Amino acid sequence: MAQCTAPVRGHRSPAAAADCPACGGRSRYGSSYSSYSSYGGSSPYGSGRGSTYGAPSSGGSTSRRTRTGRSVSYSPSEWRAVEPYAEKAAEQARAHPERRDLFLCHAWDDRQGSAADLNRLLKANGASVWFSEEDIPLGSLMIREIDKGLRNSRIGIVLVTPALIKSINNEGIAEKELAVLLASRRVVPVMHGVTFDELNDVSTMLASHAGLSTATSSLDDVAAKLAAAAAALPVA
pLDDT value at residue 235? 56
**CA end-to-end span of the chain:** 32
Domains and CATH numbers, the chain: 14-230 (3.40.50.10140)
pLDDT at 191 over 70: yes
Name the nearest CA neighbour of 28 among 199, 173, 208: 208
pTM for the structure as a whole: 0.71
Percent of the chain scoring above 70 in pLDDT = 71
Report pLDDT for 145.
Answer: 84
Within the chain, residue ranges assigned H as helices are: 14-19, 76-95, 114-124, 132-135, 142-151, 162-169, 173-184, 196-202, 204-207, 219-230
Q: What is the pLDDT of residues 201-218, one digit of tens each?
A: 988 888 888 899 999 899
Would the pLDDT of 139 be above 90? no
Q: Are 199 and 165 in contact (CB under 8 A)?
A: yes
* Per-residue pLDDT tens digits for 6-32: 444 444 444 444 555 555 543 333 333
